[in-house]
Structure formats: C-alpha cells, structure tokens
C-alpha cells in the first residue's frame, strides 16, 4: 500500500484549494483520525501543515506512528492514543481541516463522528468504503458479512446503516473498530449528512476498492 505516497492526499489538497480553503493543508491546523502508520501524517507534514494532531485507537498502529515520526522526522505532528470521538466530545479546540481516511466504516455510529467533525472543523477530507447492494449482489462472500439494515436518526438527520460483522477481530493484524461490528453508510447518506451539518462546498469522487466502492470527499463551509 503506497501510504507514504498516497495520491488521495494530493487529491484532497487540490480539491480543498478549489473549494476555497486557501493553501489546502499548507499552513493549517489539521486533525487526523486513524493515522495507522503515519503515512498520511508524513505527507501532511511535507505539505507544511502548521500543526497535526493525529489520533489512533489501535495500540500497535500507534507505536508504528511513533517510530515513523522519528524515522522520517515528522516534526509538525503530535500522536495521541485513544478514541477520536471522545477527544472531539471533550475538547472545544477547533481545527482548520479534519482528515478521516478509512475511519467511518469502522464505527457503530458514523453519523456522530461526522457531527463532531462538523462542530470542530471548517473543512474535511473523508475517504470511506460505502455500502453498495449492486456490488454485494455479485459477491455473496462479502454480502454474508452484513446482517441487518437499520434506520437511524442522529442530530436530526435520518439515515440508513448496514451492520457489518468482523471476522478477524482479535487477531494481531486486525485494524478495525472497537466493537464486534460496525455500521456502513450509503453514499447519499454521507453526502446528505455533510450538507445537513453545514458544509456547502462538496467535491466527491467514487473509487474502486476490494471491500467495495469507496468515496473520497473534500468539503468546506
């Protein structure tokens, strides 16, 4: 995986500038959720973000981030170990740009995270796998991991989620969420939620992924 040279970060930089975020990540205070092995943190640092707070929930990945920070001289970042939603609930700090790449589809309440990010960030870059029934119809093995479709309402926004049940949870290489399952959203629900929470400038592109169709989004107020 080209995490230390990921074209998604360059795409986000270009799109943020186009929708009115002057400089994109450059000179901005950035909140990064789920840095994994600090690949994107490295790229944000090289784009000269003013500061980066990177929150990782997986202890093994967190240690890798600390190693990468020293190995590559990631000077603008501070890595935290813990629940990113808890940080956003507890702190009033604001950020210029929030980054959540590979996070939403590992949560049981992804809408809450979008709401919290909207409270604390003026712009966002999101990347997530989305639930797509057409994709799953041709892949019964993948479809078997989903068990329920639920209607949920959070912060006044009604949406549909699909329960995804983890099969590798407990293994050393597992990098999913903190529960035995997560809830996947559909593309229209994610884009509708961003508009509901006040983002008026939205650029979105579909992207193929082995798990299913993915969505990359740059959004600003």
pLDDT at 219: 98
Q: What is the pLDDT of residue 169?
A: 61
Confidence of residue 144 (pLDDT cuts 50, 70, 90): very high
Average pLDDT over residues 195-217: 95
pTM for this entry: 0.94
The pLDDT tens digits of the residues spanning 63-112 come to: 999 999 999 999 999 999 999 999 999 999 999 999 999 999 999 999 99
pLDDT at res. 170: 58
Residue 179: the pLDDT is 87
pLDDT at 168 over 80: no
Give pLDDT, residue 2: 77
pLDDT tens across 17-59, in order?
Answer: 999 999 999 999 999 999 999 999 999 999 999 999 999 999 9
Residues forming a β-bridge with 124: 98, 219
Dihedral of alpha carbons 89, 93, 96, 98, sign? negative
Q: What is the mean pLDDT of the chain?
A: 95
Domain boundaries of the chain, sorted by first residue: 83-220
Q: Which two tokens stand for residue 179?
A: 């529960």
Q: What is the pLDDT of residue 167?
A: 81
Percent of the chain residues topping a pLDDT of 90: 91
| 10 pLDDT tier (thresholds 50, 70, 90) | very high
**Is the pLDDT reported for residue 173 higher than 90?**
no
């Amino acid at each position: 995986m080209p995490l230390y040279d990921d074209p998604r970060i360059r795409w986000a930089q270009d799109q943020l500038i186009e929708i009115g975020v002057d400089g994109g990540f450059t000179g901005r205070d950035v909140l990064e959720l789920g840095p994994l092995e600090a690949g994107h943190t490295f790229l944000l640092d090289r784009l000269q973000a003013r500061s980066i707070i990177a929150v990782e929930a997986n202890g093994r990945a967190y240690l890798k981030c600390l190693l990468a920070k020293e190995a590559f001289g990631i000077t603008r970042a501070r890595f935290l170990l813990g629940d990113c939603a808890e940080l956003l609930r507890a702190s009033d700090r604001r950020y210029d740009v929030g980054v959540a790449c590979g996070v939403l589809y590992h949560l049981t309440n992804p809408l809450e995270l979008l709401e919290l990010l909207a409270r604390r960030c003026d712009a966002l870059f999101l990347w997530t796998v989305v639930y797509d029934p057409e994709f799953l119809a041709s892949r019964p093995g993948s479809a078997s991991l989903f068990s329920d479709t639920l209607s949920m309402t959070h912060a006044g926004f009604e949406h549909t989620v699909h329960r995804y049940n983890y099969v590798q949870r407990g293994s050393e290489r597992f990098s999913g969420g903190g529960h035995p399952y997560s809830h996947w959203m559909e593309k229209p629900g994610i884009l509708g939620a961003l508009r509901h929470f006040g983002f008026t400038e939205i650029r979105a592109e579909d992207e193929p992924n082995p798990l299913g169709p993915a969505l990359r989004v740059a959004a600003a107020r």
